Chain A
């Protein structure tokens, strides 16, 4: 079974530029998550989708971050414009459902450096 796929793996941009990350979850998984992992910290949830609807985006900086999950499969996370503090690893995860005991499966992450 293929795992969660993410691209690109690395991205370097200058502040005020825009960037987009792509995620393809495990086939059949209804729930998709985007986490931000700043160096030295644990991952923090940015947004959660159930199929193509948003379940939780309370910690998404909506003035600059946006995400979509068209057709309830793959997803794109965008930052526009980027700030220095957005430098982090962006992790995508998926699970079959959003139930409390479901395991979340993580992709390899996209490492973003904003200069």
Chain B
């Protein structure tokens, strides 16, 4: 079946540190891949997405590359800020027409000044 596995948190970094949050997936066919972010007290917001192998999604300094060979979609940012503190969810959309998103369990990021 389809599933997403994220690295366990919390991840605690100092401001301006490099961030990597690992995400691997299991899926049949070629899913679309997403990173959503959830700030405290708010709903999920789309951070970036990639719809085919080798695509790179990017937004607000965050990047992730769709790696079919390693079934991964790791999230990276070169220099984190305190305002990046949030919960990050990796998700996949299977190649069907139902639109059902499959989420990982989420990774909490805490950035300290």
Binding site for B on A (CB under 8 A): 4, 31, 33, 35, 40-45, 48, 55-56, 91, 93, 95, 97-109
Contacts and interface: CB of A to CB of B under 8 A. Distances in A.
Interface of B: 4, 31-32, 36, 41-46, 49, 51, 89, 91, 93-101, 103-106
A104 B101 contact: yes
Given A42-B4, A42-B104, A100-B94, A4 B43 contact: yes
- The 7 A-B residue pairs with the shortest CB-CB distance, nearest first, are A42-B103, A98-B99, A106-B44, A106-B43, A108-B43, A101-B51, A45-B100
Contacts of B42: 108
Contacts of A91: 43-44
Best-buried of B93, B96, B101, B106 by chain A (most CB within 10 Å): B101
A43 B101 contact: yes
A11 B51 CA distance: 37
Given A45-B101, A104-B46, 13 more contacts: A33-B99, A42-B104, A42-B105, A43-B103, A45-B100, A48-B99, A91-B44, A99-B99, A100-B94, A101-B51, A101-B93, A104-B99, A109-B43
B38 to A, nearest CB: 9
A29 B104 CA distance: 25
B46 A103 contact: yes
B105 A41 contact: yes
Determine chain A's interface SS by DSSP, over half rule: loop
B78 to A, nearest CB: 25
A109 B42 CA distance: 8
A100 B49 contact: no
Given A100-B93, A100-B95, A101-B32, A43 B44 contact: yes
Best-buried of A91, A99, A103, A104 by chain B (most CB within 10 Å): A104
Given A91-B44, A106-B44, A106-B45, A42 B99 contact: no
